[in-house]
Amino acid sequence: MAMMMLAKEFTDPGCWKKGIGTALINAACSFGDYDSVIVEVFSDNENAIGFYEKNSFVRIKENKSSVMRLLGSGYPIVMEKKKI
């Protein structure tokens, strides 16, 4: 089972709600022979979580014991999208 991990996918807030992020995700997901695509977001980033959930990603792991939580960044959430 091969997985692709996307890292640091950002769009300018002025470009939100225009389909650009969804187009980037769809393009990335179309490359290679992968069974799933993985992203990691922080729990306090509700916009990112909502975006990925809207694009068929589901939470597969939450690291609530992460030291990042102590630093005020929330905790890491790993999300996965199975390729069709």
CATH number of 42's domain: 3.40.630.30
Is residue 66 a part of any domain in this protein?
Answer: yes
State how far Cα 49 lies from the chain centre: 7
- Structure confidence by residue, pLDDT tens digits, 14-50: 878 888 888 988 888 787 788 888 899 989 899 999 9
CA dist., res. 79 & res. 7, Å (int) = 12
DSSP 73: S
Task: Give the pLDDT of residue 57.
Answer: 94
Task: Give the pLDDT of residue 46.
Answer: 92
3-class secondary structure, 31: coil
Is residue 9 a part of any domain in this protein?
Answer: no
More confident residue, 9 or 20: 20
- Structure confidence by residue, pLDDT tens digits, 61-71: 988 776 666 66
Task: Give the pLDDT of residue 60.
Answer: 94
CA dist., res. 69 & res. 55, Å (int) = 26
Domain total of the chain: 1
Question: What is the domain extent for residue 28?
Answer: 17-82
Residues comprising the chain, all counted: 84
Is residue 64 a part of any domain in this protein?
Answer: yes
- The DSSP bridge pattern shows strands 3-5 and 36-42 to be parallel
